[in-house]
Amino acid sequence: MGEFRTLVLAKVLSVRDSSCLYPSCTHCYCKLHQHTADGNRYECLRCHAVYAGTDLKYRYCLNLTIADDQTLCDVAVFGTCLEPFFGTSANGLKRL
């Protein structure tokens, strides 16, 4: 799948989730899942990396409903491009 960028001029109608942070794998950036047996361990289901609860790195994921003059759609915005909007890194926001 090739990468491409598109500039979209649209209005944000709503933010769909209450949380904009998730604990992420430092290898593949997927969301980490907490072990049920040991609540202090987290695992990436994609690459099977395991993290201690104290070593988590967070990433932004903002789910938006946007619209332009003709179209309404749902988009997800990930990563460091959201740092200027929030004024800090995802880890910094999690510590607040």
Q: What is the pLDDT of residue 88?
A: 96
The full set of domain ranges for the chain reads 11-95
User: According to the model, what pLDDT value does residue 39 have?
Assistant: 79
CATH architecture classification, 11-95: Beta Barrel (2.40)
- pLDDT value at residue 1: 63
The tens-digit pLDDT sequence of the chain (96 residues) is: 678 888 889 999 999 887 899 999 999 999 999 988 887 899 999 999 999 999 999 999 999 999 999 999 999 999 999 999 999 999 999 998
CA angle 74, 75, 76 (to 5 degrees): 135
Q: Which two tokens stand for residue 22?
A: 């998730």
CB of 27 within 8 A of CB of 47? yes
User: What's the whole-model pTM score?
Assistant: 0.81
